[in-house]
Structure 1
Amino acid sequence: MSLFGDISLLDNCKIKDNTVNSFTEVTNGTTISRGGGVYKDGRGNLNFDKCIVEGNAAYAVARGFGFFPNGFSYGGAIFVAGGGVTATNTVICSNIADGDSSVSRGYGGGCFTENGLLELINCTVIYNTANARGAFSANALGGGLFKQPNSNMTVTNSVVYHNKINGQSTNSQIHGDPTVTYSDIQGAFLGVGNIALDPKFVDVACEYHISSDSPCIDAGDPDSATPTFPNDDIDGNLRPQGLVYDMGVDEYKVVVEGTVNIDQLWSATFGGQFSGEFIPGDGLIINDMCTVIDENNIEYNVKQTYTLIDHDKKKFPLGKQKTRRGPGHHYFVFEATIPADAALGKAKIGINVQLRKSGKIIDREFRSIPIYIK
């Protein structure tokens, strides 16, 4: 896909399984293939958000009449010839810069910048490959990213890992001198806040979600107020969930779930005080802020969402105040997002419950409910 001029935003899109084959014969039979997924020309700017660029190939086919035909492939996923490209919450995975002959050389299995600017913010660049063949097998560079001297590249809050050279795992994840900060780079890369630790994805291939023990959690830039940082992750979860941003496209979210029988809660809390006159707005009210106490007795104030399920098993989303008038076979299901540093295992959730009748709060109580943080 070639992109020319200003394209303000590609949002929630997938660019997958495209191939650029170059048969162009130049002097000495040199052929060049650029940008298997995206070729960005020198005009205007392009922004990606929540996109997946997967399985694309820049494939140089050396077909020349000279004695030394050559094939060069640049940027299996994205080639930047000029202008500006900014990617946030974008996965660049399983792309390849390759060729078909013993004189083919690949540079930048994921992205290649010739001129202009490439910015990667909270991106995950994984399982890309740059190949070189025959006598030039040592010439493949930048399994993940390749920056030419005349271009600019910045990488922030991102993961560049598991990219390969000639099909083999390598520490040559990035070639050139981009500015890289608060990112997880295999083999290490000089820059403020960078780490070189297995990101611990939950699965292989292009699975980009991180597990609960990932070193990328709370390891991003502590200045989360930076305007260019995304407010959410690739799944729409708010950032940050913990103290600071996570690295990569996934903001790790710990969720506790539970079900409470409202009738039992009503009786246990207020002794069944549901007789008399009720008006709209009366009933059992459960506030949307709660306290979670983990197994280490550390308290967290968190916000929760609810769904009310009636006796016919119909679900009703509830707002900030949760009201149910009178008794009946009703339940509310709560879901609360817990900071990533809360201890897993047995815990308690505390909810503030009020009883309102005739427009007045006649009783209130704090209830503690056992939960399990998983």
Structure 2
Amino acid sequence: MSEDEEARAWLIALRTPGLGAGGLREALAGADGRIDAALAWLRRRAAELDASAAAWLEQPDEAQLATDLAWLAEPGHRLWRCTEADFPPLLENIPQPPAALFVAGDAGLLLRPQVAIVGARRATQGGLAIARDFAQTLARAGFVVTSGMADGIDGAAHAAVLDAGAPTIAVVGTGPDRVYPRKHHALARRIVEQGALVSGFPPGTSARPHHFPRRNRIIAGLALGTLVIEAGLQSGSLITARQAGEQGREVFAVPGSIHNPQAHGCHRLIRDGARLVETPEEVAEVLVPLARELGCELARRLGVGESSAGRGAADTAGWRGDPQYQALLEALGHDPAALDVLCERTGQAPAELSSMLLMLELEGVVEGLPGNRYQRLPG
């Protein structure tokens, strides 16, 4: 099966009315992860499906599929499938995980440790300033800031990180080719150029109210922890925080004035068990050990450093005696190098190198630079 044929099969499955991520994952599980076999299995069960689903599987819209494939063919665009070894491991541990993600920009960023920053659309000037400060400080600490590209806190966090020369991830409730709100067209372009824009919806999908809980679940699922900065009692940010808590992730909330309605949601979160934080350093202190665990988990999934397996997964310093890591350090040299250059020098796949570089960043041996470049630190 060629890459184009496989992509086409995935798009047919993802666009099947009423199937959803759960139905597709079930079909894949019964087909040993092969999308062609999963489609065949679904077509055999067409009588049990909704009439529109059966009609689509029998005769999909070729013009729609051609448009989707044209989007995928553009540089920097990827359909990331749950059957791929480097599919973000944290997403596999959430309820109703997506079957695939549409990514525009640097997909490798989704494998790095992330912190979600969310909050009120109608944020106060003080709340926006807090969002910018936390976002930039956490980015400098090595975390990728993830949010939903909404007005207010989300947009301020994204923009602050980009202004600092660091990458950011936006998870949207539309297709990857749509921008919502429309005022964020320029911000979306910057995110794609310097970070990644992620969607669980195929190209052309417009904004719908029921899309945003799914978006919020992905935001919370990608991140090691979710930080809420200003949220009213009816804020969608509380949904993201609740989902993060249900997924076993850390939830942080910044307290505010009792006279500020946008602080009441944060106060409720704190009463319900969220960590009260006043500085970004408090967030980083909690998340750094979790980032190390993420690096180990990703390395295990990709088979990186198998010669070190006997030392135990918790031994993050095991890389020091691993020939793969030593080859990577030699390939890095002492000048900044882009990920694709390192792939050429080492012969390793991008996903494997991303995991190894993450481990080295956490050990303070390597520094991530803008433009998906890395530099070896002295010492």
Same fold (TM over 0.5): no
Q: TM-score range by the shorter chain?
A: under 0.3
Considering Cα pairs closer than 8 Å and 6+ residues apart, tell me whether 1 or 2 has the greater RCO.
Answer: 2
TM-score for the superposition, normalised by structure 1:
0.25
In terms of fraction of residues, the more strand-rich structure is 1
Larger radius of gyration: 1
